Structure 1
């Protein structure tokens, strides 16, 4: 395929000049490819996982086993996206950036999900992800509450293609 700058060139949404291997807390949102409802449904303001949702949640929760420099904080897998807080602790012995952690998560979870679906090479996740550097304890608490309340606010969520009102992102 020939290089097309309008199609192949994407502008980075990362904070310009920021070292994403720096210690800190990061609020991560990863959406499914084309916002496909792949992981289950919201029933009575609670997430009801299907098998693919269980796989995504399990892979997310196990990230700290593969990356000794991260602590997994609050998270939620929704029908077509996930939100999570990763606390990164830099060390001289092990220095992985948030993008490396997310890339590994997306790769391995997609392979497992596609195996479950009987598919090969089908995109599970969007090409990128959203991040926000959490700057203080007040913001950390606010993001935690947003994640906890996400199923309750699903009707207003911008990731819900059937939304009935406006978005309530933090």
Structure 2
């Protein structure tokens, strides 16, 4: 689904603060199920891990679904915009290189939600990693290959 003319309003009031926890969602262009291909999904996973390993975020939980991904992070050194620009750019480059393509992988923008301190982070993480079950891609989370959580 194409992005609306109101997409710029997604950034209105957006605030990034190191040490805070955010739930981030990115959607593929036209909601194409790009990541039904396990190997392409793993390329996205690698970019999530690079952001963690480079100290930009502390990844708490994530799942890569066929047409979107959810990522629960504690922000460390960059803004949300810088983080998501880096993630989407680098994952697009690696996926397009693997496919010998130059298509847009991700829709413009992303959704973010700051997690309040009183919220149960483990419940949010469980919600994220159960996405493949709710979408009927699997009946057991252990059978779905494109997720992780810091407690597992």
**TM bracket, shorter-chain basis:** 0.7 to 0.9
Contact 1:64 1:71 in 2 (8 A): yes
Render the CA deviation track for 1:105-142: whole Å, top value 9, x for unaligned. Answer: 1001101100111112x100010111000002534222
Structure number with higher helix proportion: 2
1:97-116 superposed matches below 5 A: 97-116=79-98
Task: Calculate the TM-score normalised by the size of structure 2.
Answer: 0.78
Task: Calculate the TM-score normalised by the size of structure 1.
Answer: 0.71
Which residue, out of 125, 145, 149, partners 1:144? 125
| Residue correspondences, number | 133
Across the aligned residues of Structure 1 and Structure 2, the Cα RMSD in angstroms comes to 2.0
Q: Point out where structure 1 has 5 or more consecutive residues left out of the alignment.
A: 1-6, 41-48, 90-94, 156-170
Match for residue 81 of structure 1? 68
Q: Is 1:53–2:41 an aligned residue pair?
A: yes
Which residue, out of 53, 67, 73, partners 1:65? 53
Render the CA deviation track for 1:57-103: whole Å, top value 9, x for unaligned. Answer: 1111221223x2421111000111110111013xxxxx410110110
Distance 1:153 1:9 in 2: 29
Q: Which has the higher contact order (CA 8 A, sep 6+)?
A: 2
Larger Rg: 1
Match for residue 12 of structure 1? 9
